[in-house]
Amino acid sequence: MQAYIVRRVLALVPTLIFASLIVFVTVRLIPGDVIDLMLSTNDIGADRKSREQLEAALGFDRPMVSQYFRWIGAFVLDGSLGQSLWQSTPVMEDILHRLPITFELGVYALVVALLVGIPIGVYSAVAQDTVGDYVARSFAILALALPSFWVGTLVMVFPAIWWGWSPEVKLIPFSEDPLRHIGQMTIPALILGKAFSAVVMRLTRTMMLEVMRQDYIRTALAKGLAPRTTILRHALRNALIPVVTLVGLQAPVLVGGAVILEQIFVLPGMGQLLLEAVSQRDYPVITGVFLIVGLAVVFINLLVDLSYGLLDPKVRYR
Amino acid sequence: MTGARLLSVKGLSTEFRTDRGTVRAVDDVSFDLAAGETLAIVGESGSGKSVTALSVLRLIPTPPGRISSGEVLFEGRDLLKLDEREIRAIRGNRIAMIFQEPMSSLNPSLTVGLQIAEPVQLHRKAPWAAALDKAGELLERVRLPDARSRLSSYPHQFSGGMRQRAMIAMALACQPQLIIADEPTTALDVTVQAQILALLKELTRAANSALILITHDLGVVARYADRVCVMYGGRVAEMGPAREIYAHPRHPYTIGLMASVPRLDQEAGSRLVPIEGQPPDLSRLPPGCAFQPRCRFATERCRVERPPLVSTGPDHLSACHHHDRLGA
């Protein structure tokens, strides 16, 4: 198993190199570059000389290839991702500062999605074609169909109009007041996990229906096991294998959703950092965020692959 | 039938709702079974033999299936009238089942030990440790090599024969009065088939359990069954002591089945005679005898009048208008 992990991690290297190349190049293809922005905001006369000075100071006068290697070299050698063009703060520091919030939001949303989606999916399969099943499935479609940015905006706007209540704008750190912190994260996590829970529910339902038809379920019933034990002990475990795959596939979607929800709920996470950086064309920050997100997604999928072994004894890591 | 009556199935009918209307997979089937006796239910696929077995334990998936009428008296109680909790107390405890596909009948994600210990824990209220210990003992009894160390194995680490041994161990776990084995060896290699059947017979005899052996293989019947029930098109075609049915078959379908099975005492070079035609479509059974379209003895009467199951000798029943012209 250790050898398997080592090999998997080594196999990540080309993936990440490729990803970093794409990120590095495409960011620089966004129309309007950082020099223009800086010159206009600093109100410096946009003459040729100051532009060239600025380019040289920021290192943009070098060929793209050499820029790339300087950036990736710094990352590989000392884990640095360069400095923000605007704030001159180390990008890695900014990211590490904001990563926990995004991570927390994502994990919270994932937990919500699984806690809601799996039991309802199981119920829906067991009560196939009953009223309860239809209600559950309708809610799942609804949860999928309502975009989270819209729901998020509603949650921000309407309580404020009706009751004068709105979510707190300043995030209370967990260390200061854990309960209020979790309370603050709950609404964004629910909204972020909503669509995913619908997908989990649908997949769990489908897989349960499939598994419940298997011969070994009949064997379990023939032993005299109660339906409850049969479902929990014999069916669920086998039905969950594809759900675990789904978690890996949905991880980037959760990150994408987090970017938007952080903006709506003013959570100082990676999403906010990224949006600011994009609007300011802060290349090192953008590429840094993408690289870290890419790394995270890739590692989540490694974890997913490893967790198959817990569910399916046939999986051996060689 | 000898000895005390253990199981008595009376007028059992099981229907399935399909796209092409309601299909009666089991149609008015009755049979009795004495304690310790081995009854073979023989027939082609679609003859209703497996559905009969599943109906006894009420394991028919509902919907689309439904037991529409009949009684299943087991130790004096009608299993069809028990509530869910009561029938569960019978399943795996008083009546155990062994299924056809050892590959798919064991749960791939649970250890073999757990799956065998489960009924012990459930019905004997044994703690897990004791139940697992019992599972080890059961695996030894079915002569699985290295039994105790196999408890923590998963089904995919077993061969087909080993899995069927594990299934037998599971069935024996609570010393049931009756074991129903639904084509227990069909999916196995021929050499393993004989071992498994011999083991099954030996262990049921040792435990004095009755055995219902569902099979399409008449060779199996000859060696292991006391009595035989031949099914065709969801109905009983012929029933009687195994030896009697071999010597004097009283139904053309039974005769056809025997002619289509290779036998060692046949002359070399003699040909097997297949039964012409297709097994019947249960949704479109002819009004008369279900076997009549394939029967070389069929007359006009067979086309219009359904033959009743009548006595043709001591403990020997046949559903053929012409049973007295056959065999002898």
How is the beta sheet containing B5-18 ordered, strand by strand?
B21-34, B5-18, B65-74, B77-78
Rounded mean pLDDT of B103-130?
89
Same domain as A212, residue A123: yes
A14/A139 Cα distance (integer angstroms): 42
Same domain as A262, residue A171: yes
Q: Is residue A88 part of a domain?
A: no
What DSSP letter does each residue of A80-131 carry, written as one string?
Answer: ---B-TTT--BHHHHHHHHHHHHHHHHHHHHHHHHHHHHHHHHHHHHTTTSH
Given an 8 Å threshold on Cβ–Cβ distance, is A222 in contact with B97? yes
pLDDT at A201: 93
Q: Considering only A3-17, A76-90, A195-209, B286-300, which range has the smallest mean pLDDT?
A: A76-90
Given an 8 Å threshold on Cβ–Cβ distance, is A214 in contact with B104? yes
Q: Is residue A187 part of a domain?
A: yes
A 289-318 residues inside an 8 A Cβ radius of B: 311-314
Among A51, A78, A105, residue at a domain's last position: A78
pLDDT at B263: 67
pLDDT at A297 over 90: no
Same domain as A24, residue A149: no
Kindly report the nearest CA distance between residue B295 and chain A, in angstroms.
35
Rounded mean pLDDT of B242-246?
86
Give chain A's domain count: 2
Residues with Cβ within 8 Å of residue B306, at least 6 apart in sequence: B287, B288, B289
In terms of Cβ atoms closer than 10 Å to its own Cβ (0-12, 13-18, 19+), residue B327 is middle
Q: Is residue A318 part of a domain?
A: no
Probe site for chain A from B59, B104, B118, B158 (most A CB atoms < 10 A): B118
Helix residue spans in A223-312 (DSSP H): 227-229, 236-239, 241-264, 270-279, 283-311
Same domain as A260, residue A125: yes
Closest CA to A267 of A108, A52, A82: A108
B38/B255 Cα distance (integer angstroms): 22
Mean pLDDT of chain B: 85
Ramachandran bin of A275, using left for φ above 0, alpha for ψ from -120 to 50, beta for the remaining angles: alpha
**Is some CB atom of chain B closer than 8 A to the CB atom of A220?**
yes
**Is some CB atom of chain B closer than 8 A to the CB atom of A226?**
yes
Given an 8 Å threshold on Cβ–Cβ distance, is B57 in contact with A222? yes
**Beta carbons of B176 and B95 less than 8 angstroms apart:** yes
In terms of Cβ atoms closer than 10 Å to its own Cβ (0-12, 13-18, 19+), residue B219 is middle
Residues of chain B neighbouring A313 (CB-CB closer than 8 A):
108-109, 111, 154, 156
Probe site for chain A from B100, B107, B212 (most A CB atoms < 10 A): B107
The domains of chain B are located at 5-94+174-263+272-325
Closest CA to A252 of A106, A108, A149, A151: A106
Given an 8 Å threshold on Cβ–Cβ distance, is A233 in contact with B108? no
Same domain as A23, residue A99: no
Q: Is residue A100 part of a domain?
A: yes
Count of A-B CB contacts under 8 Å? 72
Q: Is residue A90 part of a domain?
A: no
**Is some CB atom of chain B closer than 8 A to the CB atom of A224?**
yes
pLDDT at B44: 83
What range does the domain containing A71 cover?
2-78
B61/A209 Cα distance (integer angstroms): 13
Residue pointed to by tokens 């030990």: B113
B216/B228 Cα distance (integer angstroms): 12
pLDDT at A95 over 80: yes
Residues B148-162: tens digit of each pLDDT: 888 889 888 888 888
pLDDT at A265: 84
Helix and strand tally (H, E) in chain A?
14, 0
Probe site for chain A from B50, B93, B97, B109 (most A CB atoms < 10 A): B109
Same domain as A298, residue A272: yes
CA distances from B209 to A267, B79, B94, B171, B180 (A): 69, 18, 10, 11, 10
Residues of chain B neighbouring A238 (CB-CB closer than 8 A):
107-109
**Beta carbons of A93 and A218 less than 8 angstroms apart:** no
**Beta carbons of A217 and B115 less than 8 angstroms apart:** no
pLDDT at A43: 58
Q: Is residue A316 part of a domain?
A: no
Residues A34-47: tens digit of each pLDDT: 777 776 666 555 56
Please tell me which residue of chain A has the smallest CA distance to B98.
Answer: A219
> Which regions of chain B does DSSP assign to beta strands (E)?
5-18, 21-34, 38-42, 65-74, 77-78, 95-98, 178-182, 210-215, 227-232, 235-241, 310-313, 316-318
Residues of chain B neighbouring A234 (CB-CB closer than 8 A):
107, 110
Structure-derived torsion over alpha carbons of residues B172, B94, B25, B218, reported in degrees to the nearest 10: 40
Give residue B328's pLDDT band: very low, low, confident or very high (50, 70, 90). very low
pLDDT at B112 over 80: yes
Q: Is residue A161 part of a domain?
A: yes
Mean pLDDT of chain A: 83
Given an 8 Å threshold on Cβ–Cβ distance, is B99 in contact with A238? no
Residues of chain A neighbouring B135 (CB-CB closer than 8 A):
none
Same domain as A72, residue A33: yes
Q: Which CATH architecture has domain B5-94+174-263+272-325?
A: 3-Layer(aba) Sandwich (3.40)
pLDDT at B287: 82
Residues A212-231: tens digit of each pLDDT: 888 899 999 999 898 888 98
pTM of structure? 0.80
**Is some CB atom of chain B closer than 8 A to the CB atom of A214?**
yes
Kindly report the nearest CA distance between residue A237 and chain B, in angstroms.
7
Residues A228-247: tens digit of each pLDDT: 889 888 899 889 888 888 88
B203/A302 Cα distance (integer angstroms): 48
Kindly report the nearest CA distance between residue B90 and chain A, in angstroms.
7
CATH number of the CATH domain containing A203: 1.10.3720.10
pLDDT at A207 over 90: yes
A70/A48 Cα distance (integer angstroms): 26
Same domain as A64, residue A193: no
Same domain as A73, residue A101: no
B 133-192 residues inside an 8 A Cβ radius of A: 154, 156, 167, 170
Same domain as A192, residue A69: no
Q: Is residue A89 part of a domain?
A: no
pLDDT at B138: 87
pLDDT at B100 over 70: yes
pLDDT at A68 over 90: no
- The partner residue sitting opposite B118, judged by closest CB among A215, A223, A237, is A223
Q: Considering only A24-28, B68-72, B150-154, B228-232, which range has the smallest mean pLDDT?
A: A24-28
Given an 8 Å threshold on Cβ–Cβ distance, is A223 in contact with B108? no
Please tell me which residue of chain A has the smallest CA distance to B174.
Answer: A223
pLDDT at B39: 92
Given an 8 Å threshold on Cβ–Cβ distance, is A224 in contact with B59? no
Residues of chain B neighbouring A221 (CB-CB closer than 8 A):
59, 91
Residues A252-283: tens digit of each pLDDT: 788 888 888 888 888 888 888 888 888 888 88
Write out the two tokens for B289: 């005898």
Given an 8 Å threshold on Cβ–Cβ distance, is B91 in contact with A222? yes
**Beta carbons of A259 and A274 less than 8 angstroms apart:** yes
Same domain as A205, residue A108: yes
Among A50, A78, A106, residue at a domain's last position: A78
Write out the two tokens for B27: 């149609």
Closest CA to A208 of A97, A133, A300, A107: A133
**Is some CB atom of chain A closer than 8 A to the CB atom of B119?**
yes
Among A47, A78, A109, residue at a domain's last position: A78
Same domain as A100, residue A33: no
CA B105 from centroid of its chain's CA atoms? 16
Better-predicted residue by pLDDT, A7 or A316: A7
Coil/strand/helix, residue B2: coil
Residues of chain B neighbouring A311 (CB-CB closer than 8 A):
109
